[in-house]
A and B are shown apart, each in its own frame.
Chain A
Amino acid sequence: MGGCYNARHRSDTLPPRGFAMFRPSRRAAAPLLAALLVLGLAGTLPGQQVAVEEFTLPNGMQFLLVPRTDQPNVVSAGWVAKVGSVNERPGITGISHFFEHMMFKGTDTIGTRDPERDATLRVEQRRVREQITNLVWTEQYDRFLRGEIDDPWDPANDSDRLRQLRTRLDGLIRTQQGRGDAGAEGATIVKDEFDQVYTKAGGSGMNAFTSYDLTFYFITVPSNKLELWAWMESDRLHDSVFREFYSERDVVHEERRLRTDSTPTGRFQEQFDSMFWASCGYSWPVIGWPSDLNSYTEEQAQDYWNVYYRPGNLVGIVVGDFDPARAKADITRYFSRLDAGTRRPPPVVTLEVEQLAEQRMNAEGDFPPAVEIRYHTVPAGHVDSYPLDMLAEILNERTGRLYTGMVEGRGIAAGAQATSDTRKYAGLFAIEAQARGEATPAQLEEAWYEELAKLQAEEVPERELRKVKNRVAAGNYRRLESNMSLMVQLAVAEATLDWSEINEGPRKYEAVTAADIRRVANAYFAPTNRSVATYLRRAAAPAGGPELPAAPAGGQ
């Protein structure tokens, strides 16, 4: 599970699975992965090529422009930072997403009426917070490790010294926000001015999301306001200020409670992810472990900025009704103010180790009986990723093998889905099925193994493959219809592989043969390569039963 910046009543955001956002979206998460799967293009249909104008500024920032007039008067614009939770390490898990939240706090121009005094207050906050953090890491962690307290970060367990420091920090934050003794007049912050400037100008759907491999910031503006976008985004990339660095983590804790701790399966899914990925950077959640969330320092954030938020690691994308020559001029004018920086992102070196034996997790809670079976596969762009994606298509939808075999045929499932999730550095293939009636997870699991055995033994018939390729080809048009959808796909493709995959992928899907599918069905689905999570509903009990499992230490 992951995270995003924002909730507003007119949101048109489409966050993918495994994300975190700056604000909650009122719309349910759309299956972006499914959209990525339907990159196929049938040979019988004309190919849809997205005409992208690409250019790079001298400072290294790359831009993709897709002018089109079918939806007049609006432009969707965004930029992707090629950094996500996979670039983190234990101790700073979730910092990519936290950083995303920080990016909305303004600059020395936006978000403050007195940058000098604001900076002074921030420095004081930082000094106090460093003392708090150091005390917790030493004294409170020691007390926790000895079993004296249940959570080193819980203010209820504070020593007097910690309590004083927290009060001091809270006072500094209140002063900065205009809620201290000096009142509103003493505020150095102009609250959420970044949002207000866009709102007043007719911007909508402003948001950002962080996933395993990327962070994307986006908005839709009226066509005549593209220059405003260039101003606002180049300003925050030039001059971002980590304002409210310490209070914003409370918001992220609430986001974590909302998405993970308070949902029926949230923490089980998190645990399954951590079990599945042994060594690579996908083993921690995008939103981060609670203890790390409390521990980030401004130095770490600054370091992240210097390495990952320099122009060479960023790609701007503009899709919609605009004049490309004018846009190019404005973009060049504004984004050229970004300094190229001197450091380059370090390579992600830790590869996933080979799984040697089946892994299982048996969960009980407030959810229907279900099963998830996962296999390690390949990263995006790998030659086998295309037949694996097509295999998922063979299994999915109403005429797919999971529905006809498990929902209809055996009558044991209420629903069943396959996912081929190929990321930048590794991939997985998952089967999920929910039980119907008295059926058990074990029956669902067995049914999948039977379906798998057929795919391993026999090639998919020609008509079945053609059907799936037709669907994938039509999906190739459908996914391009909305500006926002096209922009997100360009961002994901560019951050994972290369934006040109949008145009080149379809040919590769069309070229997949029945023999390829049978080959990958045999290559990646060995029992030793699988991890199985079974979910059982916990029976209702008479009064007096205990609570849900305790939240992990490190929360607040």
Chain B
Amino acid sequence: MPRSTLPLLRALLLVAAPLVTALPGARGDEPPGADLPGRPEEIVFAPLDFEVPDAKQFRRTLPDGTPVYVAPTHEFPLVTVSITFKGGASLDPADVPGLAGATASLVREGGTASASPAEFDEALDFLATRIGVQSNDAFTTASMNCLTANLDESLKLFVEMLREPALDEGRLRTSKARLMESLKQRNDDAASIMSREWRRLLWGPDHFESREPTGASVAAMSTERMRELHRRIYHPGNMIVAVSGDFEEKPMLEKLAAAFAGWKKGPAVPDPEAPTAELAPGIYHVPKDIPQGKVAIGMRSIRRDDPDAIPLDILNDILGGSGFTSRIMQQVRSNEGLAYSAGSAVVPKVWYPGQFRASFESKNATVALATKIILDLVEGVRDEPVSYEELETAKAAAIETFPRQFESKPAMLRVFVSDEWTDRPADYWKTYRDKVSAVTREDLQRVAKKHLDPEKMAILVVGDWDAIAAGDLEGRAKMTQFFGGKVTHLPVRDPVTLEPLPEGAGAPKPADKPAAPAGQGAPKKPVPAGK
């Protein structure tokens, strides 16, 4: 609204809402700041030119062919060296899920050829150098951050650890004991049950994305198995290096070449295998006694390089990917107050189709209502084009936040390394904003119809089914209205073996209840365990 009407509105409000106008600053004849733009849209912004950095300008090659991305910056006396190897859980042997992750831990913790684990840790800590080694699904990353003054000594320790880890037996025992303790906790939090069972539904139980260590596989983790995996992953034929921070390029490249000298290359690591299982649509439920149901709704989706990837991402921002500026958050949380977090994501995968997933958590009675609202919203983007305003906001947001991923030097290098490992087309980022600008409402409706279909989705509910199925007090929704009311009740799994427990087991046993203090009512809606 034009600013000039505001003083008048304030005068009206004085009558209509004395409480509101009691705000300090809202009284007096001349409202302070009357000379300011009346609406944010009236502000004129200086242009902000952002040129997409070109990966080639940061890429160097060591004499042995190892790619190194360099981005010096001298604001702080710190250097970060990060090495990304291809292969992670994707290389886990079928009988030892979790081996790549456990190997990464032991490479870090298990000492080196010349230093015992304790000596190695002590040396690093005294230098104030940080080293981490982690495996995810498809990659293993080792990174070292040190003070510039300690670069030489830190780099020596870092590379020796990667080349010749001692994989100490004592540290292996500690590491396995720790892992066993974490297995026992797998059913404690509903969020971890949700994450595990969703992956099993989505990828099938035998794909590496859903396989998890068990007591037996932890027992099978040996230094021999780890050495074998170490030889496959940690070698110069399988790594890309990124260096950022306080250094000069030429000496850094010389130091790296010297540190890697004589390190033998192994064979290339294959791409991760695609899952073979299909997601079976329907409602699934895993029991957990909590006062809130946790829900995931989704289906398999696209590959990263799918031509629909950008429009689908924009569509998802409008549907549920952009917080309060998206429909799911506005309806489920802001209007209805049914959830604290509610939203959706499209997660494309490089080597096989990824997933679309909406998720929320809500008190038991309103799980069905929130589910219905989300499915209606999915139908909505299929049935009707989004509004012009929604499209413009989503496109502007994607374009304006685009520079953010190149914001810091380490972040920029992460993009370059990932792109090289996954063969992202060289002009992808250069043309990204143009591709976003070109997206139309028709594009969004087309990709919605093609890639989002409630009938092909699974709904996974973790929580107290009897309380959830009944629906809300006003009868606005019930779980029986989805998929003809057919529900697959998934078993509670033994947290250590992951084998299904007999029905009714796994629920907590009676605890000695303290006598209820005066005024404490009976437990609300007592629920017999073991459903």
A228 proximity list for chain B (CB < 8 A) = 40, 43, 45
A480 within 8 A of partner (CB): yes
Selecting from B17-25, B91-99, B157-165, the interface stretch reads B17-25
Report how far A179 CA is from B373 CA in the complex, Å. 14
- Shortest beta-carbon distance, A551 to chain B, in Å? 5
A200 within 8 A of partner (CB): yes
Contacts A195-B323, A544-B529; A220 near B404 (Cβ below 8 A): yes
B43 proximity list for chain A (CB < 8 A) = 227-228, 231
B39 within 8 A of partner (CB): yes
- Shortest beta-carbon distance, B304 to chain A, in Å? 16
Interface string of A182-195 (1 = CB under 8 A from B): 00000000011011
B530 within 8 A of partner (CB): yes
B10 proximity list for chain A (CB < 8 A) = 108
Q: Which listed residue, A24, A154, A242, A436, touches B181 by the CB 8 Å rule?
A: A436
B13 proximity list for chain A (CB < 8 A) = 108, 115-116, 119
A23 proximity list for chain B (CB < 8 A) = 323-324, 340-341
A123 within 8 A of partner (CB): yes
Residue of B nearest to A192 (CB): B324
B473 within 8 A of partner (CB): yes
Q: Which listed residue, B292, B323, B400, touches A7 by the CB 8 Å rule?
A: B323
Q: Which listed residue, A9, A248, A538, touches B321 by the CB 8 Å rule?
A: A9
Q: Which listed residue, A119, A481, A540, touches B508 by the CB 8 Å rule?
A: A540
B305 within 8 A of partner (CB): no
Query: Judging by beta carbons under 8 Å apart, are A414 and B125 in contact?
Result: no
A324 within 8 A of partner (CB): no
A149 proximity list for chain B (CB < 8 A) = 521
Which of A197, A262, A414 has its CB near the most chain B CB atoms (within 10 A)?
A262
- Shortest beta-carbon distance, B518 to chain A, in Å? 9
Chain B, range 396-455, C-beta contacts under 8 Å to A: 396-397, 399-401, 403-404, 407-408
Chain A, range 10-31, C-beta contacts under 8 Å to B: 10, 23-24
B330 proximity list for chain A (CB < 8 A) = 191-192
Query: Judging by beta carbons under 8 Å apart, are B147 and A123 in contact?
Result: no
A261 within 8 A of partner (CB): yes
Query: Judging by beta carbons under 8 Å apart, are A543 and B337 in contact?
Result: no
Report how far A199 CA is from B397 CA in the complex, Å. 6
Report how far A250 CA is from B340 CA in the complex, Å. 9
Query: Judging by beta carbons under 8 Å apart, are B178 and A436 in contact?
Result: yes
- Shortest beta-carbon distance, A141 to chain B, in Å? 10
- Shortest beta-carbon distance, A63 to chain B, in Å? 17
B36 within 8 A of partner (CB): yes
A10 proximity list for chain B (CB < 8 A) = 401, 404
- Shortest beta-carbon distance, B531 to chain A, in Å? 9
Residue of B nearest to A42 (CB): B128
Selecting from B62-70, B183-191, B219-227, the interface stretch reads B183-191
Selecting from A233-241, A421-429, A487-495, A498-506, the interface stretch reads A233-241
Query: Judging by beta carbons under 8 Å apart, are A247 and B408 in contact?
Result: no
Report how far A71 CA is from B321 CA in the complex, Å. 26
- Shortest beta-carbon distance, A69 to chain B, in Å? 9
A514 within 8 A of partner (CB): no
Interface string of A249-264 (1 = CB under 8 A from B): 1111111011001111
Chain A, range 525-550, C-beta contacts under 8 Å to B: 537-550
B6 within 8 A of partner (CB): yes
Determine the interface band of chain A, counting residues with CB < 8 A from chain B.
35 or more
B515 within 8 A of partner (CB): no
A541 proximity list for chain B (CB < 8 A) = 505, 507-510, 529
Query: Judging by beta carbons under 8 Å apart, are A262 and B361 in contact?
Result: yes
Query: Judging by beta carbons under 8 Å apart, are B509 and A547 in contact?
Result: no
Query: Judging by beta carbons under 8 Å apart, are A224 and B48 in contact?
Result: yes
- Shortest beta-carbon distance, A277 to chain B, in Å? 20
B262 within 8 A of partner (CB): no
Query: Judging by beta carbons under 8 Å apart, are A543 and B507 in contact?
Result: yes
Query: Judging by beta carbons under 8 Å apart, are B523 and A549 in contact?
Result: yes
- Shortest beta-carbon distance, B244 to chain A, in Å? 10
Query: Judging by beta carbons under 8 Å apart, are A473 and B506 in contact?
Result: no
Selecting from B73-81, B135-143, B196-204, B376-384, the interface stretch reads B73-81
A353 within 8 A of partner (CB): no
Query: Judging by beta carbons under 8 Å apart, are A192 and B334 in contact?
Result: yes
B50 within 8 A of partner (CB): yes
Which of A199, A239, A368 has its CB near the most chain B CB atoms (within 10 A)?
A199
B273 within 8 A of partner (CB): no
Interface string of A500-520 (1 = CB under 8 A from B): 000000000000000000000
B393 within 8 A of partner (CB): yes
B32 proximity list for chain A (CB < 8 A) = 238, 336-339
Report how far A115 CA is from B38 CA in the complex, Å. 14
A60 within 8 A of partner (CB): no
Report how far A403 CA is from B223 CA in the complex, Å. 23
Query: Judging by beta carbons under 8 Å apart, are A73 and B45 in contact?
Result: no
- Shortest beta-carbon distance, A221 to chain B, in Å? 9
Contacts A398-B125, A399-B122; A414 near B178 (Cβ below 8 A): yes
- Shortest beta-carbon distance, A240 to chain B, in Å? 7
Residue of B nearest to A21 (CB): B340
Report how far A482 CA is from B407 CA in the complex, Å. 10
Q: Which listed residue, B17, B149, B178, B322, touches A415 by the CB 8 Å rule?
A: B178
- Shortest beta-carbon distance, B174 to chain A, in Å? 6
Report how far A330 CA is from B25 CA in the complex, Å. 19
Q: Which listed residue, B12, B126, B294, B324, touches A470 by the CB 8 Å rule?
A: B126
Query: Judging by beta carbons under 8 Å apart, are B509 and A126 in contact?
Result: no
Query: Judging by beta carbons under 8 Å apart, are B507 and A231 in contact?
Result: no
Chain B, range 323-347, C-beta contacts under 8 Å to A: 323-325, 329-330, 333-343, 345
Query: Judging by beta carbons under 8 Å apart, are B128 and A474 in contact?
Result: yes
Query: Judging by beta carbons under 8 Å apart, are A239 and B23 in contact?
Result: yes
Query: Judging by beta carbons under 8 Å apart, are A471 and B128 in contact?
Result: yes
B503 proximity list for chain A (CB < 8 A) = 543
Report how far A154 CA is from B522 CA in the complex, Å. 14
Interface string of A454-479 (1 = CB under 8 A from B): 00000000010011001101110110
A227 proximity list for chain B (CB < 8 A) = 43, 45
Q: Which listed residue, B177, B338, B524, touches A550 by the CB 8 Å rule?
A: B524
A225 proximity list for chain B (CB < 8 A) = 45
Query: Judging by beta carbons under 8 Å apart, are B190 and A262 in contact?
Result: yes
A367 within 8 A of partner (CB): yes
- Shortest beta-carbon distance, B219 to chain A, in Å? 14
Which of A72, A196, A247, A364 has its CB near the most chain B CB atoms (within 10 A)?
A196
Query: Judging by beta carbons under 8 Å apart, are A543 and B530 in contact?
Result: yes
- Shortest beta-carbon distance, A534 to chain B, in Å? 14
Chain A, range 79-116, C-beta contacts under 8 Å to B: 104, 108-110, 115-116
- Give 8 closest A-B pairs by Cβ, nearest first: A202-B400, A543-B504, A541-B509, A250-B337, A337-B33, A339-B25, A550-B523, A543-B530
**Apart from A239-B23, A264-B189, what 13 extra A-B contacts exist at CB < 8 Å?**
A9-B321, A10-B404, A45-B149, A104-B324, A151-B521, A192-B325, A228-B40, A231-B37, A240-B23, A366-B188, A467-B125, A467-B126, A475-B128
Residues on A facing B (Cβ under 8 Å): 6-10, 23-24, 45-46, 48, 68, 70-74, 104, 108-110, 115-116, 119-120, 122-123, 126, 144-145, 147, 149-151, 154-156, 177, 179, 191-192, 194-197, 199-202, 204, 206, 220, 222-225, 227-228, 231-232, 234, 238-242, 244, 247-255, 257-258, 261-264, 298-299, 302, 305-306, 310, 333-334, 336-342, 364-368, 397-399, 404, 407-408, 411, 414-415, 434-437, 463, 466-467, 470-471, 473-475, 477-478, 480-482, 537-551, 553, 555-556
| Subset of 12 A-B contacts with CB under 8 Å | A23-B340, A45-B147, A120-B16, A123-B16, A191-B334, A222-B48, A334-B33, A336-B32, A473-B128, A540-B508, A541-B505, A548-B290
